[in-house]
A and B are shown apart, each in its own frame.
Chain A
Amino acid sequence: MTEELAAPSPAEVDVTIIGPGRGECVVVHLGGGKWAIVDSCVHPDGTAAGLRYLAGMGVGSEAVALLVATHWHDDHIRGFSQLVEECPAAVVALSTALKRDEFLTLVESDSDLLVRSMSGVREMGRSIKALVGSARQHEFAIADRRLYRDEANRAEAWALSPSSASVQQAMEGFGELLPKRGASRRAIPRPARNPACVVLFIKVGDVELLLGADLECSSDPSQGWSAIVSSAARPRMRAHFLKVPHHGSADSHDDAMWSHLVEHHAHAGLTPFRSGSVRLPRPTDVQRIATLTPNAWLTRHDDGGKSKRRSRAVEKTINEATRRMRSVSVEPARVTFRCGADHAGEWTVTPSPQSQNLVVTP
């Protein structure tokens, strides 16, 4: 059971990474009792993990000032429409790629398929419709655009991606999924890559945070981490905290990002990703990250996703019919990092029992 914390003081920065094994949510205290929630995952009962964390501290959803969906993969978006509906004061920010006709066509072509399981495009569609239905303030994030500013608390949030070239590449990916005359209908599958995700830079007082979303590297210097590192228009930064991109995968590792954008031995948090035979971070990823900083934490290191218990006859048949089966309805684990807004880098860390400090092993 994860310890419930007291709400931070108005001048205290709180960065909480929540990850159940497949899913990610980052909650940030922007100072003065205002909060940001970046991405979403849910508890087994379906409630959004970000709101649940706030409620555990006695903070209501009206305190959420900024909601960001970094991209539409189902492990980052589960429960996001609930956030849009229940956080009336929040500015909602989405990747600019998601307002393009190509993505809206995916949303509308999927909406007729009445299936019960959740998918990323369906949840993003619900979120967009909740957004327009409530006439809420929203922003479309693109590289080097400020999304939020609160002068009283010296807080601001910037999108560092996607670049124009990345949006164009995303359109090509969407194009492959578009419905075509004569083709069978289907649920929109999750694409393997996500070039148009939103990397965030958040500054509260003197504390700088880099939230890496699922951004991967690219051989094209106008995309991926190269585009961010080389941008002349982004805020100058040396982040004291890094949300490690893409569950620590090797494809998302960029030496220049670590050396130019992040403080030496910065605190870092990451969530695992389990799907089929894919497990991130891999042991080699853990070694690499632990070498870069001794202050990196993984929200959940155990498998944690055992299938629901069923009758013996059903379990025997499941074992015979499947190679493997695991639950994605798992209690999220979290790691909370806190420090004073004027004491950048002096973090206290409160992990869940399932969390792990990444260390170099011989």
Chain B
Amino acid sequence: MSLAEELSFEEPSSEGGTTDEIGIASGATTRPAPRWPSRHDRAADRDAFELRNQLGGSSGTTTAKPPLESATASANPVALPLSLPRDIPPPRRTATFKALQQFEGRVLDVGPDWFSAALFDMTDEITEEEAEFDLDEVSSDDRSLVVPGAIFYWSIGYRTERSGERSRTSLIWFRRLPVWGERDLEDVQARVAALRTALDR
């Protein structure tokens, strides 16, 4: 996984998108995709297939959201369509982000105005650290997701505006994990029964 991954930020456009969308320049590498559960892969593949059918094949610049895993917005970055149809103008590219350092985090504890987290260095795949953050470091959209056990990603890098202005940036975004459904819980219980049987053997 390259450290010099370049992401580009886009302005919202009438074709859709929000201010927190991160666009990926054509041919550029996306942010590192987290690994996904196979069951969710299948759901994401299905969603991506349906989305691809709705949009039709094409070429050009693509957009991708930060990893979302909710049932309504299941999205596997690998499986998402790589291009938008020709009749939709590509979103305007306004800034790029060059990542210098990336972490995967797991929230350990949450205080009134802080949270602590275990961090895994995705750059060297070995180093594990712990850090304490101000809650202000998390966007208001993600604040409700900051609970013990929540998974997030933290990128540090340079953001370069179209004007050429460059700034050091710290980006934290939380994984939106799917909710537990009845079927999921039944699957878990079936695996528990198999494990208990093996332990009792």
Contacts and interface: CB of A to CB of B under 8 A. Distances in A.
A117 B120 contact: yes
Contacts of B125: 116
Interface string A241-255: 000000000000000
Given A114-B34, A186-B150, A276-B109, A318 B156 contact: yes
A189 B146 CA distance: 12
A104 interface: yes
B108 interface: yes
A115 B132 CA distance: 20
Contacts of A307: 129
Interface stretch (B19-27, B80-88, B184-192): B184-192
Contacts, number: 177
A312 to B, nearest CB: 10
Using C-beta atoms within 8 Å of the partner chain, give the interface range for chain A.
35 or more
A169 to B, nearest CB: 20
Contacts of A132: 195, 198-199, 201
Contact of B179 (A131, A184, A322, A324): A184
A314 B122 CA distance: 14
Given A116-B120, A128-B195, A188 B37 contact: no
A113 B129 contact: no
Interface in B104-130: 104-109, 114, 116, 118-122, 124-130
Interface in B56-108: 100-101, 104-108
A56 B41 CA distance: 44
B29 interface: no
B128 A325 contact: no
B98 to A, nearest CB: 11
A321 B133 contact: yes
B148 interface: yes
Contacts of B142: none
B147 interface: yes
A117 B133 CA distance: 18
A343 interface: no
Given A44-B126, A114-B36, A115-B151, A179 B109 contact: no
Given A99-B196, A132-B199, A310-B101, A181 B168 contact: no
A179 B181 CA distance: 10
Contact of B181 (A114, A181, A327): A181
Contacts of A99: 196, 199-200
A220 interface: no
B170 A326 contact: no
Interface in A146-190: 179-190
Contacts of B192: 101, 104-105, 107-108
A307 B101 CA distance: 14
A64 B134 CA distance: 45
B105 to A, nearest CB: 8
A351 B34 CA distance: 42
Interface in B13-56: 34-37, 39-40
Contacts of B191: 108, 111
Interface in A288-328: 307-308, 310-311, 313-314, 316-318, 320-328
A199 to B, nearest CB: 22
Given A114-B36, A328-B130, 20 more contacts: A99-B196, A104-B196, A105-B189, A107-B195, A108-B191, A112-B40, A116-B104, A117-B105, A117-B106, A182-B179, A184-B145, A186-B177, A187-B149, A317-B168, A323-B133, A325-B129, A326-B129, A327-B128, A328-B128, A329-B126
B167 to A, nearest CB: 10
Interface in A256-288: 275-277
A57 to B, nearest CB: 26
B182 interface: yes
A188 B35 CA distance: 18
Residue from A135, A190, A321 having most chain B Cβ neighbours under 10 A: A321
Contacts of B120: 115-118
